Amino acid sequence: MPRSILTAIEEGCWDYEPNDVSQEEYHSTEALPGSEEKLKLLAQRVCEGLPLWHPADRQSVDDDETAFD
């Protein structure tokens, strides 16, 4: 089983689905969508085989910054 979507693509495994990961097992981010910080974090999540999105990730400029981990 591939470790991440990247290794799945390298191995030609086109029906790869990542393992379910509890949201407590990785951190949310307050980085703005589209920012360099957010893109780097998303790339890191992909490389680590984590879900791309965390339910508590910041989704807009209007999100309250005090609500993040």
User: pLDDT digit string (tens) for 20-31?
Assistant: 889 999 999 999
Contact 18, 9 (CB under 8 A): no
Within-domain flag for 47: yes
Contact 56, 29 (CB under 8 A): no
How far is CA 58 from each of CA 28, 44, 51, 65, rounded to the nearest angstrom? Answer: 8, 17, 15, 8
Within-domain flag for 50: yes
Within-domain flag for 67: no
What pTM did the predictor assign? Answer: 0.71
Within-domain flag for 26: yes
14-66 tens-digit pLDDT: 888 777 889 999 999 999 999 999 999 999 998 888 888 999 999 988 876 55
Within-domain flag for 55: yes
Q: Which two tokens stand for residue 8?
A: 């799945």
Domain total of the chain: 1
Which residue range(s) make up the domain with 44? 5-62
What is the per-residue pLDDT for 41? Answer: 96
Confidence tier at 7 by pLDDT (50, 70, 90): confident
Length of the chain: 69
